[in-house]
Amino acid sequence: MSTRGGGGDGSAGSPCVDRMMPLSVLLKRELTSEKIETPDIFHGLASRSKKGEDFTFLKTECQRVPGNGLTTFAVFAIFDGHNGSAAAIYTKENLLNNILCAVPSDLNRDEWLAALPRALVAGFIKTDKDFQSKAQTSGTTVTFVIIDGWTVTVASVGDSRCILESAEGSLFLLSADHRLDDNKEEVERITASGGEVGKLNLAGGIEIGPLRCWPGGLCLSRSIGDMDVGEFIIPIPHVKQVKLSNAGGRLIISSDGVWDALSFESAVDFSRGLPADIAANKIVKEAVLLKGLRDDTTCIVVDLLPPEKIPTSVTLPKKQGMRGLKRMLGKRASDSPSHHSVRNYFEPYAVEELYEDGSAVLAQRLNIVYPVCNLFKLLLCAVCQVELKPGEGISVHIGSSKSAKVRPWDGPLLCRSCQAKKEAMEGKRPSRNLSRTRDGYK
Ligand SMILES: [Zn+2]
């Protein structure tokens, strides 16, 4: 059986078997037991620059196992910087590596995909921490898309969004919206952590513009960087993982320059039937036509198409007219890394949700169970992967409401520095002296 964790007991049964198995056997087993059919991936990128703060990352030839072409996966990402471009550039250069360092080695594809949500959380936080240690200002949104086979994993902070149109024409939002204006839950989290949320106050007490977080004046609740904003502006990403049918689908990843001008439906409709590169150009062109070039406007279109060898036996007609955005209901990590391995054969084009969690609670996000085999010989910090000496790690559950039951050695463990970061994100540590106040913001 190759579907990961089938029956919900994937972490309990297989590790004993896997423990003795060398990597070559694992790979061979993966090849023989799982029919490897991967989509043909075509992508296009278009961008119009106003501030020079949008950056993109496109890499189609990443490998889970270096040197093994059968373990190829693709990454597409947009970083929309603010208050300068240093954070966007730093994140573009370091985030993927920080994520991959947080994935245990020697996993097969299903285990690797199951480990990704936790690794994404660790990689985002490490990147944020490392960038802040450089004491540079600026921050960035991140929408980070990993495509492995038919499985698409999207991690996001900020408001650059990613949508999926499935082969039969349903729309799915795969990223979060961390604009304070649109996210009441995040406003409550920030307020509870000691931040103030309100509109910009001009002379005379007139309030204008979007909701912003003070100190700092940022209108996003999550980002990477933003040294000069309260630490309750956190880098913990919303993560969503879906599996497409082998009929494929189209991803549209865009910065807010596009989404401030176009609805999800109109972006899809404007680009319908066009190859990915022309589609991306068309979406950016239409956005700029509608609203003018008021912001950096960037779009990546990625098509996952059935490989030529797979006959496309049935092609459903595209649904016409208005379609509702299907927001698949979120699942919490406490439900265990969820997946429903029984495919519904009556809906061959269904998009299967494997995982979703956007919680800001680090203990919950790191507490995902996945096959451990004998991978954790060393005690590592669950965020930055630094090796911990015995007795040195601090349980991520310390300080949580359940802390009475937590023993200091209960994993996942954090190093002292990552523990301090966790407390800062939860508002348990006073913010640094911040200069931009609500009334003094330019
Ligand atoms: Zn650490």
Q: How far does CA 195 lie from the centroid of its chain?
A: 24
What separation in Å is there between the alpha carbon of 235 and the centre of ligand 1?
A: 15
Percent of the chain with pLDDT over 90: 59
CA angle 261, 165, 339 (to 5 degrees): 125
pLDDT tens per residue, range 210-239: 999 988 889 999 999 998 888 899 999 999
Answer whether 128's CB lies under 8 Å from 225's CB: yes
What separation in Å is there between the alpha carbon of 76 and the centre of ligand 1?
A: 27
36 pLDDT band (50/70/90 cuts)? low
| Cα(20)–Cα(329) distance, integer angstroms | 39
pLDDT of residue 37 exceeding 90: no
pTM above 0.85, yes or no: no
What separation in Å is there between the alpha carbon of 93 and the centre of ligand 1?
A: 20
pLDDT of residue 291 exceeding 60: yes
| Cα(367)–Cα(369) distance, integer angstroms | 6
SS3 content of the chain, % helix, strand, coil (to 5): 30, 25, 45
pLDDT of residue 39 exceeding 90: yes
pLDDT tens per residue, range 43-90: 999 999 999 999 999 999 999 988 988 899 999 999 999 999 999 999
Give helix then strand counts, H and E, for the chain.
10, 17
| Cα(19)–Cα(17) distance, integer angstroms | 6
| Amino acid occupying residue 165 | E
Q: How far does CA 133 lie from the centroid of its chain?
A: 23
314 vs 186, higher pLDDT: 186
What separation in Å is there between the alpha carbon of 123 and the centre of ligand 1?
A: 11
pLDDT of residue 93 exceeding 50: yes
What separation in Å is there between the alpha carbon of 401 and the centre of ligand 1?
A: 22
> What are the chain's domains?
37-425 (3.60.40.10)
Helix (H, G, I), strand (E, B) or coil at 20: coil
What separation in Å is there between the alpha carbon of 346 and the centre of ligand 1?
A: 46
| Amino acid occupying residue 136 | Q
Helix (H, G, I), strand (E, B) or coil at 86: helix
pLDDT of residue 4 exceeding 60: no
Give me the chain's average pLDDT, please: 82
Averaged pLDDT for residues 170-190: 95
pLDDT tens per residue, range 337-387: 333 333 334 466 789 999 999 999 999 998 766 555 544 546 889 999 999
What separation in Å is there between the alpha carbon of 31 and the centre of ligand 1?
A: 36
